[in-house]
Amino acid sequence: MDTIVEVIDEENIDEGALEVLKKAGSIIKDGGLVAFPTETVYGLGGDALNPQSSMKIYAAKGRPSDNPLIVHVADMESIKKIVKEIPDAGYKLAEKYWPGPLTMIMNKSDAVPYETTGGLDTVAIRMPSNKIAAELIRCAGGYIAAPSANISGRPSPTEAKYCVEDLSGRVEMIIDGGAVGIGLESTIIDLTSDVPMILRPGYITKENLTELLGDVSVDKTILDANSKAAPKAPGMKYRHYAPKGDLTIVEGDSQKVAEYINGELKKAKGQGLKTGVIATSESAPLYNADIVKIAGSRDDEEEIAHNLFSILRQFDDEEVNLMFSESFDDTGIGQAIMNRLLKAAGHKVVRV
Ligand code: AMP
Ligand code: MG
């Protein structure tokens, strides 16, 4: 299959851009796949109400088909068709956080095929704020199932070039809308349990959600490598976000972390390995790696979240074999950062 790549400027969706989006919408309505930008990461979209489209998404990503997809909508009205009912908390959250980086899980209606929900009776729903995404959803008939637009297991794509790398020849079209804003996937909250439960941390934090809903619980498996419990979000059990080389997180006092990592870097150089470190702007000068990447200032979680996946991809591009990362606070957006970083490292953590 030839993959068409089209560039659209989110801030200037002109006639030409609308033509492209109509064409992309027709591809999806006809059962094809289109990768597109959202404010979180790039999505790999197909018609959420067409079981064949969902099967194609799993095949294109190499994703296990028991890992459900998120259904993307452009307005509240559309949701009524795909759920049994919208709980009160759903209205509250939508009012404050939609369109935006929050996914809500509700009981599904018969309109949603089990292929889309990985066999579950619940459906995950999100209304993205990216204008290209919103217009594409309208052009595609209102319901786009879209996981992140990467090959399963790799870091989620924050730029179109990474979709091209992973999905060329596997999808009909890739829409290049530039670098994404947030850089981490949406927060997922399950509204089907008595107490709403966060299944995946993201830009919208536990603190944000608790403030609005009162009692909110967090799936225990989010940061815990040793938990025997199965994650409530089926996808979270799979290896995820992993760079090609070996990544270890080093935790502890900043000086000691630098000493430990520099010691390991020295050994690695002796073995001819290419090395990388994920550091902060404060600590970067401490490291002697081949490549030191600054995720951001330690005080700026949004910046760190924004840069994390692209740093992991850059290490792949630069063929780095051995990587170390500093650890980050696991409060606020830090919970999402640490969740992704721990998975990328296969939960390899050294405490010094
Ligand atoms: P991705 O598409 O890569 O952003 O991943 C989507 C995530 O949403 C996966 O971790 C899924 O397990 C989770 N998810 C989607 N639908 C449901 C659902 N109905 N119940 C629980 N988790 C879900
Ligand atoms: Mg993903």
pLDDT tens track for 38-75: 999 999 999 999 999 999 999 999 988 888 999 999 99
Task: From 199, 217, 222, 208, select the one nearest 93 (Cα to Cα).
Answer: 208
pLDDT in tens, 110-130: 999 999 999 999 999 999 999
pLDDT at residue 282, rounded to an integer? 96
Which tops the pLDDT comparison, 347 or 227? Answer: 347
Nearest ligand to the CA atom of 188: 1
Residue 241 lies in a domain: no
User: 268 and 330 in one domain?
Assistant: yes
Number of domains in the chain: 2
Please say if the pLDDT value at position 235 is more than 80.
no
> Lowest-confidence range among 137-146, 222-231, 236-245, 319-328?
222-231
Centroid of ligand 1 to alpha carbon of 233 (angstroms): 6
User: 260 and 190 in one domain?
Assistant: no
User: 92 and 176 in one domain?
Assistant: yes
Pocket-forming residues, ligand 1, beta carbon under 6 Å? 67-70, 105, 117, 120, 122-124, 147-148, 185, 188, 199-200, 233-236
User: 131 and 45 in one domain?
Assistant: yes
pLDDT in tens, 3-29: 999 999 999 999 999 999 999 999 999
Tokens of 163: 């979709």
User: 120 and 13 in one domain?
Assistant: yes
Nearest ligand to the CA atom of 57: 1
Residue 236 lies in a domain: no
The residue-averaged pLDDT of 31-36 equals 98
Q: How many CB atoms lie within 10 A of CB 271?
A: 9
User: 293 and 347 in one domain?
Assistant: yes
Query: Running DSSP on this structure, what letter comes out for residue 67?
Result: S
pLDDT in tens, 181-214: 999 999 999 999 999 999 999 999 999 999 999 9
Residue 228 lies in a domain: no
CATH of the domain at 305: 3.40.50.11030
User: 172 and 86 in one domain?
Assistant: yes
| Residues ≥6 apart with Cβ < 8 Å to 45 | 28, 33, 34, 35, 36, 72, 136, 140, 144, 145, 146
Residue closest by Cα to atom 21 of ligand 1: 233
Nearest ligand to the CA atom of 193: 1
Centroid of ligand 1 to alpha carbon of 160 (angstroms): 22
Domain boundary among 169, 200, 218: 218
User: 166 and 277 in one domain?
Assistant: no
Dist CA 20 CA 121 (whole Å): 35
Q: Which residues pair with 6 in a beta bridge?
A: 175
Residue 303 lies in a domain: yes
Residue 134 lies in a domain: yes
Rounded to 10 deg, the angle between the 334-344 and 301-317 helix axes is 20
Range of the domain at 130: 4-218
SS3 at position 126: strand
Residue 239 lies in a domain: no
Residue 238 lies in a domain: no
Residue closest by Cα to atom 10 of ligand 1: 235
pLDDT at residue 237, rounded to an integer? 62
Dist CA 63 CA 158 (whole Å): 19
Tokens of 311: 């740093």
Dist CA 235 CA 111 (whole Å): 22
User: 308 and 214 in one domain?
Assistant: no
User: 213 and 312 in one domain?
Assistant: no
Q: Return the ligand 1 atom nearest residue 70 CA.
A: 15
| Residues ≥6 apart with Cβ < 8 Å to 299 | none
CATH of the domain at 147: 3.90.870.10
**Does a cis peptide bond (omega within 30 degrees of 0) precede residue 99?**
yes
User: 131 and 94 in one domain?
Assistant: yes
The per-residue pLDDT of the chain, averaged, comes to 95
User: 66 and 192 in one domain?
Assistant: yes
| Residues ≥6 apart with Cβ < 8 Å to 267 | none
